[in-house]
Chain A
Amino acid sequence: MSILVNKETRVVVQGITGKEGSFHARQCLEYGTKVVAGVTPGKGGTRWEEKVPIFDTVADAVKETGADASLIFVPPAFAADAVLESADAGVKVIVCITEGIPARDEARMKAAIRNSGARLIGPNCPGVITPGECKMGIMPGYIHKPGRVGVISRSGTLTYEAVWQLTETGLGESTCVGIGGDPVPGTSHVEALQLFNEDPATEGVVLIGEIGGTSEEEAAAYIQAHMKKPVVAFIAGQTAPPGRRMGHAGAIIAGGKGTAAEKMKALAEAGAVVVKSPTEIGEAMVRALSGKR
């Protein structure tokens, strides 16, 4: 078992003929992901690299290939439209990699898909991977190993850092979800925690947060009330100055709120194992899963 994606997942790539879309679609295919369709308006009826059929619309791709998940590499100005098109076509898991989407567009698209039954991952994220089964994103596949730990993160390369440690310690990962670094994420820490809590294959969860917003505090409340599995947490930005956007659109301490210290305190009080250094994530999870603190 796993969450969100598995070996049955049939992926349509929106923006497959673009530079990034093309590169990563190839990487996903090589990993073993079932990339069944691509969408580029105006190029319907052709084939991408003589392998994958291209459609003009997501609805056509779903109808013809049974695609049930979409991976979006569309430029920021058009990305919200791409998400809405996927949701409208009945796609259930939408992974939006695009960085730089205006917050207003994100808030509107999130509200608009509320009742569609679609789950949006991202935007501005590395994607989702269930090791050995399905890679839907831009993460390097080989650092992952099928295993016992779920990973939730707002960051890209920092997630790879944590994943690498889990792989090195032999624990491996059930599924890794990059929820993204934007102020209006499609899926929150709490929602991803819920999915892992209910997944029998996941024995523990690594939660990676960063400064800005209150997603980690909400996660802490959920952990305290419902979490049945150990959680190891790291919050990036303990040394970040207030009022400055640290790369990610959502990584900003505003009005004195959203500091790493507040988040670490909330998570620790909720019973999570909070590590101060990202280099301690793997070992902390080994200890947590063996019942030690």
Chain B
Amino acid sequence: MKVHEYQAKEILGRYGVAVPRGKVALSAEQAYAAAKEIGGTVVVKAQIHAGGRGKGTFTDGFKGGVKLAQTADEAAEFAKKMLGNVLVTHQTGPSGKEVQKVYVTEASDIAKEYYLGIVLDRARQMNVIMSSTEGGVEIEKVAAETPEKILKTWIDPLVGIQPFHARRIAFGLGFKGEAFKECVKLVTALYRAHEETDATLTEINPLILTKDGHVLALDAKMNFDDNALFRHPDIVEMRDLSEEEPLEIEASKYDLNYIRLDGNIGCMVNGAGLAMATMDVIKLEGGEPANFLDVGGGATTERVKNAFKILLSDKNVKAVLINIFGGIVRCDVIAEGVIAAAKEIGVSLPVVVRLQGTNVDKGKAMLAASGLKFAVADNLKQAAQMAVASVK
């Protein structure tokens, strides 16, 4: 799960990470009040779940999702231009994201920018803190071009962050004196926040040294482990549904794993690996999958029905490919579900069904006798070929 910058900073602030003062605003009036309260020069930042906001452009031509405002009037003016407007950045895709909130923060005098990030290193099976003096730019770029400029510090999951880890990072970034102490404190607090909230990514880009010698997290990004949300009700409340694909939200209500793609062949598969493989086979046969959809192990009539509904509400879908490997679940039960669902919804598109596993012959016979126009395939390759042919 993703959260906005202002939410990430709120969480980090609770753990003692130094962040600039700020207030979220949903209207130009609120932005004005926030700027007045903060005082002096402020920054107005569009809140969307994507990076590259500063260099982004709004669809009406207004440039920049991060703006420096000298006065509260100016802050209100920027907020007015951003709110309800659609911001396109290199991470949003060409359709962009509508801005519904702006974050008004105090402006900082930046002496130098750095990078701090925490992720799970899957090869070592422990978290790694990445720090770099190359702040404010994309870390992937730094990793590709100048990997020696990234310092990696691995943290044992049983012991957690130790003072020497934080010192190593602060020394590595070149901090001295009071700023060194502030950096040690910030790194330690940041790691604790990451660990205790079950974050999968915590990124401060940039971390800054101000001209008056303080260390601050100027930006913040946090993603959280969906599997751990059950123990973080406060973070669940931060979920912003307007940032998510409506069909994916609908699918999640039925415990269906659905991801919308750009093609025209809708897929319904049991199991995530087989669902990915089915997409791959469609592509190999010259088609384009419209989605990833895992109906799970227990593909009941109800689940198949809901899956059908979601597939068909994507108007790009011109054919449906159902690929089920009936293991524990019997093929005749699946056939029954598919038939019932198709009858109830009234599917008019070509539907190719490939069944394999327990009671496969019975399942195929039921599909054939249903009176519905299912195309029944004997194997996955043939199923993909039939689906691709039906949309050509």
Q: Which residues of A contact B (CB under 8 A)?
A: 23, 27, 76-77, 100-105, 107-108, 110-112, 138-140, 142-143, 153-161, 164, 181, 183-184, 208, 210-215, 218, 234, 236-241, 244-251, 254-256, 260, 276-279
Contacts and interface: CB of A to CB of B under 8 A. Distances in A.
A244 B289 CA distance: 15
Contacts of B357: 140, 143, 160, 164
11 contacts: A76-B230, A77-B230, A103-B227, A111-B126, A157-B271, A160-B357, A214-B123, A247-B276, A255-B139, A278-B280, A279-B380
Given A77-B231, A239-B282, A279-B380, 11 more contacts: A100-B227, A105-B228, A157-B270, A157-B274, A158-B276, A164-B356, A213-B123, A238-B280, A249-B225, A255-B139, A279-B381
Given A101-B227, A104-B157, A183-B120, A140 B280 contact: no
A156 B324 CA distance: 12
A200 B242 CA distance: 56
A279 B379 contact: yes
A157 B270 CA distance: 7
B198 A107 contact: no
A107 B120 contact: yes
A237 B280 contact: yes
Contacts of B374: none
A159 B282 CA distance: 19
Contacts of A107: 120, 125-127, 157
A245 to B, nearest CB: 8
B140 interface: yes
Contacts of A105: 228
B156 interface: yes
Q: Mostly helix, strand, loop or mixed at chain B's interface?
A: mixed
B284 A276 contact: yes
Given A77-B230, A111-B158, A278-B281, A154 B327 contact: no
B153 to A, nearest CB: 16
B158 A236 contact: no
Interface of B: 119-120, 122-123, 125-127, 139-140, 143, 156-158, 195, 198, 200, 225-228, 230-231, 257, 259, 261, 269-277, 279-284, 289, 292, 294, 297, 325-328, 356-358, 379-381
A130 to B, nearest CB: 17
Nearest to B126: A107
Contacts of B230: 76-77
Contacts of B381: 277, 279
A11 B355 CA distance: 32
Given A111-B125, A239-B289, A278-B281, A103 B228 contact: yes
Contacts of A100: 227
Contacts of B125: 107, 110-111, 184
A103 B325 contact: no
Contact of A158 (B158, B261, B277, B282): B277
Given A108-B157, A208-B273, A279-B380, A157 B225 contact: no
Contacts of A159: 273
A155 B282 CA distance: 19
Nearest to A100: B227
Contacts of A236: 273-274, 276-277, 280
Contacts of A250: 122
Contacts of B275: 246-247
A248 B282 CA distance: 20
B274 A158 contact: yes
A102 B259 CA distance: 21
Contacts of B158: 108, 111-112
Given A76-B227, A107-B157, A239-B283, A140 B379 contact: no
Contacts of A246: 259, 272, 275-276, 292
Given A102-B198, A108-B157, A240-B276, A155 B284 contact: no
A75 to B, nearest CB: 10
Contact of A140 (B231, B283, B327): B327
Contacts of B225: 102-104, 249
Given A111-B156, A157-B271, A159-B273, A277 B227 contact: no
B237 to A, nearest CB: 18
Given A103-B120, A183-B120, A240-B279, A278 B380 contact: yes
Contact of B272 (A238, A251, A255): A251
Contact of A237 (B226, B276, B326, B358): B276
Contact of A102 (B228, B270, B274, B294): B228
Contacts of A249: 225-227
B59 to A, nearest CB: 22
A223 to B, nearest CB: 17
Given A103-B225, A240-B279, A247 B358 contact: no
B292 A156 contact: no
